[in-house]
Amino acid sequence: MVEPRLLVSPGTSSMLPWFGLLLGLLAIPFAFFLGLKALIRARLGGYKHEFVRPDPSAPLTKEALRSVAVLGGGVAGLTAALTLARRGYPVTLYEKKAFLGGKLGSQREPVLAGQETWVSHGFHAFFPHYHSFRRLLDSVRICELESIDDYVICEKSGAMTRFRGVEPTPVLNLFGLLRRGLFSLKDAVSAPGRDLYGVFLEYEADATFRRYDSVSYAEFARRGRVPPRLKLAFNTFARAFFADEEKLSLAQLIKAFHFYYLSQDGGLLYEYPIRDYEAGLMRPIAEELESLGAEVRTLDPVREFSRTLEGFQVNGRPYGAVVVALDAPALGPLFLDAPGLPEETRRRIGSVRAGQRYVVWRIWIDKDIRESVPVFVITERERALDAVTAFHRFEVETKEDLKSGRADPKTRAVLELHCYAVPDDLVDAEIKPTLFGELLRRFPELEGASVLHEWYVVEQNFSAFHVGLEADRPTVETGVPGLYCAADWVKLPFPAMLLEAAAASGYLAANGILAEDGLRLEPIVTVPLKGLMAGMPAPKTRVELLGA
């Protein structure tokens, strides 16, 4: 008979109770941590909220559907057009440019010694909580996405602030900012910070905009004596509005911080397409629209719009419904005097303002940026440079240009420099030298680099989210049957930004038309509508400091 062996020696058996006690003690903070995460999730009602839950008994389509004109071929317009075309509506999409996608679009330009290559309007991050935008992508055959290794801010000193490894749970992620030295405990518990920083946890649309839309982000930073490195983090979210600090509404910044950092547990890491936007995203959408019988009219700007007894007229053609998804600068000339519309509708849509100029400058240079820099890095701005993208490290088309010899053989890097809000006093002739000088100071390994090819664009077509504009911002529903708005300039009934705001507004506009026709709505999922501490009374000191 084989004797059973002891798992521990007799001399160590007395240690087992102590070992168990040690494990128990270690489990206490872990259990507390898990409990805290569960409590935060419960307080927010979960991280995904069903804003629209379709009635499964409602029909998907019916015969003799009215025709729909979608004005604008950006993400919002494409979302509305594709949704309605899939339901059987005769859809006509109007787009003034030769390509679709708007700020997510791409076009071929003869920048490589006369040879054409694909260039886009800048790098875009696809965050995990972009629920509507992700739904659009999932519904079409798009290219492969890759995940960013790290979310990095390059400071003026050259130091890199990295967010990889930050606990993604809302509120707990604030300790990640603390550990990285963006603020101190003293900053958080001492006046005036202790009385002001709570605004970021208290987001609730009506109250937040009523109190803080008249206050600029710059004024908040001054009165709150925001530490420089914490201000650097806030600036990252402020850039989503393409506005300088003096112009940006504090309420909009609170919404952005809630949406990106305090309402979801996916963190700041994101995905991005490895193909050019035209090949990887827009072409599949355009092909499906055409296969569904939709008419895609590129190079056909909307020149005339009116409401008629039968419906609407666009460029002399009749339609039963219209989705307005144009850039901000196009709205005033078209709608302020649009025949047949109520005065209030004309005023609201026609008064949408464009923000500041922004710049995208793609350069082919004979030196490479250091390997430790991710494909996209945010830069602490001196005057103009906000971000740098290294396209030669991930984009298929750029790599093919270099491999095939279409680009100058001396090319070592293809970088895209971004300025999201050009200062009003920076004249056009100074923009390139300013951007390039800041690039060299951030990345000294590029000193002496020569620009071999370039593509450069200055635009002013992003919506303004400046102080005091929210009250008059149009909503998706215009009050006119059959007329809906879809764009990132629309006031949504839930927090969303950039690509997510565009896609969500497109689904909401399509739902408006579907609802009028008695058809099943499209589902819409959002982040929590309110912050963790929404409804808390504002401290007296905050009211005195901000006047709100």
* 165 close to 307: Cβ distance less than 8 angstroms: no
> What is the torsional sign of CA 399, 400, 403, 409?
negative
Amino acid at 117: T
Residue with tokens 């494909």: 375
pLDDT of residue 5: 45
Structure tokens at 266: 């996916």
3-class DSSP state of 516:
helix
CB 54 within 8 A of CB 521: yes
3-state secondary structure at position 187: helix
Q: Tell me, what's the pLDDT at 540?
A: 83
**Predicted local distance difference test score (pLDDT) of residue 184:** 84
Structure tokens at 400: 């093919």
**Rounded to an integer, what distance in angstroms lies between the CA atom of residue 422 and that of residue 460?**
10
d(CA 404, CA 24): 62
92 touches 294 (CB < 8 A):
yes
Tokens of 202: 């208290």
Given a contact cutoff of 8 angstroms between Cβ atoms, the answer to whether 74 and 102 are in contact is yes
522: nearest Cα among 56, 158, 54, 180: 54
Tell me what pLDDT residue 12 has.
45
* 334-379 pLDDT per residue, tens: 999 999 999 999 999 999 999 999 999 999 999 999 998 999 999 9
pLDDT at 335: 96
- Residue pair 476/508 in contact (Cβ under 8 Å)? The answer is yes
Q: Which domains does the chain possess?
A: 60-103+277-352+466-519 (3.50.50.60), 107-129+270-274+355-459 (3.30.9), 161-266+531-546 (no CATH)
Angstrom distance (rounded) from CA 73 to CA 81:
9
Q: How many Å apart are CA 453 and CA 466, to the nearest integer?
A: 36
The kind and range of the H/E element at 454 are: strand 451-459
Q: Parallel, antiparallel, or unpaired for β 295-297 and 91-94?
A: parallel
At residue 58, the pLDDT reads 98
pLDDT at 548: 66
The string of DSSP codes covering 215-242 is SBHHHHHHHTT--HHHHHHHHHHHGGG-
pLDDT of residue 515: 98
Task: List the chain residues with pLDDT less than 70.
Answer: 1-30, 548
Do 306 and 465 form a contact (C-beta atoms < 8 A)?
no
pLDDT tens readout for residues 99-150: 999 999 998 888 888 788 889 888 999 999 999 999 999 999 777 899 998 9
Q: Which is it for the CA torsion 189, 195, 199, 204, positive or negative?
A: positive
- pLDDT attached to residue 34: 83
**In terms of DSSP bridges, do strands 358-365 and 321-324 run parallel, antiparallel, or are they unpaired?**
unpaired
Q: What is the pLDDT of residue 8?
A: 43
pLDDT attached to residue 31:
75
